[in-house]
């Protein structure tokens, strides 16, 4: 496992599994990546602001969170239609906004599609 700085550079779902050396079913991740990363992102956001004592303990929590989310989907969890549509209620182009409704930098860019002007790429920080 790398450092917290390495973690913060990850973007692809598969990169997170490889970073934490977690075995995964490529087909499941391919089909459920959006939901896996949404749930994982929510757990990452909940961890922020807590005193973990060290980056290693925080990374251990992130690994546990990813395993937990993945195992839920592996065991047949399927989000309800309401959960899916709620995600599209305020679509966003950044990781901060996709896990929080408090972003003030969202602007409509085209026909109801939104983008965050404060972040150029998707991330968890």
pLDDT value of residue 107: 53
For residue 85, tell me if it sits in a domain: no
Residues 124 and 63 in one domain: no
Domain residues for the domain of 37 are: 4-79
Q: How far apart are CA 45 and CA 97, in angstroms?
A: 11
Q: Taking a C-beta distance cutoff of 8 angstroms, is the pair 69, 36 a contact? A: yes
Residues 74 and 102 in one domain: no
Q: What is the pTM of this model?
A: 0.61
Which tens digits make up the pLDDT trace of 51-94?
888 889 999 999 999 998 888 887 775 554 445 445 555 544 44
Residues 8 and 57 in one domain: yes
Residues 63 and 97 in one domain: no
């Amino acid at each position: 496992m790398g450092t917290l700085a390495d973690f913060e550079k990850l973007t692809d779902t598969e990169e997170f599994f490889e970073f934490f050396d977690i075995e995964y079913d490529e087909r499941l991740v391919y089909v459920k990546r959006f939901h896996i990363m949404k749930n994982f992102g929510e757990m990452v956001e909940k961890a922020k602001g807590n005193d973990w004592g060290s980056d290693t303990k925080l990374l251990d929590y992130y690994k546990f969170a990813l395993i937990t989310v993945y195992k839920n989907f592996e065991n047949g969890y399927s989000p309800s239609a309401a959960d899916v549509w709620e995600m599209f209620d305020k679509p966003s182009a950044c990781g901060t906004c996709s896990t929080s409704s408090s972003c003030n930098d969202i602007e409509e860019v085209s026909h109801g599609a939104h983008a965050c002007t404060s972040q150029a790429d998707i991330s968890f920080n």
